Amino acid sequence: MPLKLSIVTAQRTIMERSNVSKIVVPAAEGQITVLPGHAALMSSLAIGEMVVYEGDQAEAIVIHGGFFQVINNVVSVLADGAESVDAIDLERAEAARARAEQRLQGRDTDLHGGVDVLRAQLALQRSLARIKVARRRRGGTGVPTQQR
Partner 1 sequence: MAGGGGVRAIRDRIRSVSSTSKVTRAMELVAASKMRRAQERAVASRPYAEQMNAVLSQLASFTAGGDGGPLHPLLERREVKNLAYIHISADRGLAGGLNSNMNRAGAGLLLEHQPHVERVTVIPAGRKGRDFFRRSGFDIAAEFGELGDFPDFSDVRPIARLVMDDFIAGKVDQVMVGYQRFVNAAVQRPTIIQILPVLPPAGTEAKPVDFIFEPSPEELLATLLPRFVEMQIYAAVLEARASEQSARMVAMRQATDAANEMVSDLTLAYNKARQEGITGELLDIVGGVAALEG
**CB-CB contact of 5 with 20 (8 Å):** yes
Question: Cα separation of 46 and 126, whole Å?
Answer: 10
Mask of contacts with partner 1, 78-117, x by CB under 8 A?
A: x-x-------------------------------------
Type of residue at 73? N
Options 2, 4, 15, 43; binder of partner 1; rule CB under 8 A: 43
Tell me the chain's radius of gyration from C-alpha atoms.
Answer: 16
Options 18, 33, 69, 147; binder of partner 1; rule CB under 8 A: 69
Question: Cα separation of 129 and 64, whole Å?
Answer: 9
Of 5-13, 112-120, 122-130, 138-146, the window that binds partner 1 (rule: CB under 8 A) is 5-13
**57-71 and 82-84 beta bridge pairing:** antiparallel
Of 2-10, 46-54, 87-95, 126-134, the window that binds partner 1 (rule: CB under 8 A) is 2-10
Helix (H) / strand (E) containing 19: strand 13-20
Q: Interface residues with partner 1 (CB under 8 A)? A: 6, 8-13, 27-29, 39-44, 66-67, 69, 71-72, 76, 78, 80
